Amino acid sequence: MKYIIFILFATISILYAAEPIDPIPQQLIYNLKKAKIGKNLFFDTILAKDRTISCSSCHDINHGGDDGKKVSDGVFSRKTDLNSPTVLNSIFNFKQFWNGRANTIQEQIDMTLHTKDELDMTKEMVISRINENIKYKKLFKEAYNNQKISYDMVIDSIFEYQKTLITPDSKFDRYLRGEISLSKDEEEGYTLFKKFGCIACHNGKNIGGNSFQQLGVMVKSVNCDGDVYSTTKKDIDKCLYKVPTLRNILLTKPYFHDGSAKNIHDAIKTMGYNNLGIEIENKNIEKIIKFFETLNGELSKDIK
Ligand code: HEC
Ligand code: HEC
């Protein structure tokens, strides 16, 4: 009997380890007082040069973590060059931004604050506005035990908040943990996702977010704005992007760095054609969408 149980466990753990996708952790450790400040800042127009928008304008955490637009509306009615990616689970990405030019979340926040068509702030502006604000003076004093609020503290608090923006317990993660099974269509969709080779690029905890890959591996694509090449100027980096996460993917249309795919059907078709060199039949696209439905997670309990 013991032997059978051992075999059973060994088989289960091998099967589990063999899955190319891992569940995301149910919670990350973070500092509550600091994260609360970060949350306040995330929703506050104080961080925008013209005080009209906040992080939340382009990253609505209750609707997939993006803004549902092709490109976003920044300060002074400027448009961003690229589609807003989700902020949810971005903590698990190996780098930040479509072309991964930020190595850490802290670098990402710093760059976001400075970007002209997003918040367009200077370091000095951030420091003086936050230090003049009575609410933030009090909150930062409680969390950081400081007299003066530094730029790094502002970034650190938003970083702590971003640790809470994860979506564990999706149906698929519960399936991976062996708690439930998938429906026939969902299971078939997942099998096709692996069989077609989507999994070669979209894998790991975030079903993406862990490598750079070419857009248009098989058939070159038209638009490669904002690719890795745009910062490195090395030919080899042309059309190279960080593979985006597919968690909560059904909530974040339109798709791709330029928002060129209006819906998920078009995005899957394009991926099949440009990146795998295949025409995916409609009925199989529908099955992959069924699998994608299982990737919607639960936003961690709101911090008050
Ligand atoms: C005007 C819209 C806008 C605002 C405001 C904005 N963002 Fe973004 N965000 C974007 C766009 C567009 C990108 C993609 C830029 C790129 O890749 O070059 C992005 C990228 C990101 C990413 C990277 C995600 C990934 O997977 O690469 C994170 C994280 C993020 N923003 C968080 C924030 C935070 C935190 C704030 C507030 C301090 C903020 N954003 C404010 C539009 C916005
Ligand atoms: C060779 C690597 C590779 C393969 C194979 C691949 N993808 Fe992608 N996928 C990417 C990259 C890179 C992007 C980002 C491209 C862009 O935005 O310009 C992407 C983007 C996406 C997006 C849009 C994500 C968003 O947030 O906008 C979806 C959906 C997607 N892929 C699904 C699939 C499916 C389904 C398959 C299999 C049919 C697949 N991918 C195969 C690399 C790959």
Reported as a single tens digit per residue, the pLDDT across 201-229 is: 999 999 999 999 999 999 987 699 999 99
Ramachandran angles phi, psi of 64, nearest 5° = 85, -5
Q: Which two tokens stand for residue 6?
A: 């051992």
- CA nearest 260: which of 118, 17, 110, 98? 98
If pLDDT is split at 50, 70 and 90, which confidence band does 12 have? Answer: very low
- pLDDT 10s digits, 225-246: 999 999 999 999 999 999 999 9
Expressed in angstroms and rounded, the spacing between residue 290 Cα and the centre of ligand 1 is: 28
- pLDDT 10s digits, 25-68: 999 999 999 999 999 999 999 999 999 999 999 999 999 999 99
Ligand 1 atom 34 nearest Cα: 55
Residue 304 has a pLDDT of: 64
In this model, does residue 16 exceed pLDDT 90?
A: no
In this model, does residue 8 exceed pLDDT 90?
A: no
Measuring CA to CA, how many Å separate 301 from each of 139, 236, 251, 298, 304?
A: 21, 43, 19, 8, 9
| Whole-number percent of the chain with pLDDT over 90 | 91
Mean pLDDT of 155-160: 98
CB contact at 8 A, 215 and 221: yes
Residue 80 has a pLDDT of: 98
Residue 11 has a pLDDT of: 38
Residue type, 126: V
Q: Which two tokens stand for residue 166?
A: 């994860």
In this model, does residue 97 exceed pLDDT 70?
A: yes
Residue 300 has a pLDDT of: 80
Return the ligand 2 atom nearest residue 268 CA: 35
CB contact at 8 A, 295 and 170: yes
In this model, does residue 301 exceed pLDDT 90?
A: no
Residue 221 has a pLDDT of: 72
Residue 2 has a pLDDT of: 47
CB contact at 8 A, 99 and 241: yes
Ligand 1 atom 19 nearest Cα: 84
pLDDT mean across residues, the chain: 94
If pLDDT is split at 50, 70 and 90, which confidence band does 18 have? Answer: confident
Ligand nearest to the CA of 276: 2
| Whole-number percent of the chain with pLDDT over 70 | 93
End-to-end CA distance of the chain: 50
Q: How many CB atoms lie within 10 A of CB 24?
A: 24
Return the ligand 2 atom nearest residue 227 CA: 18
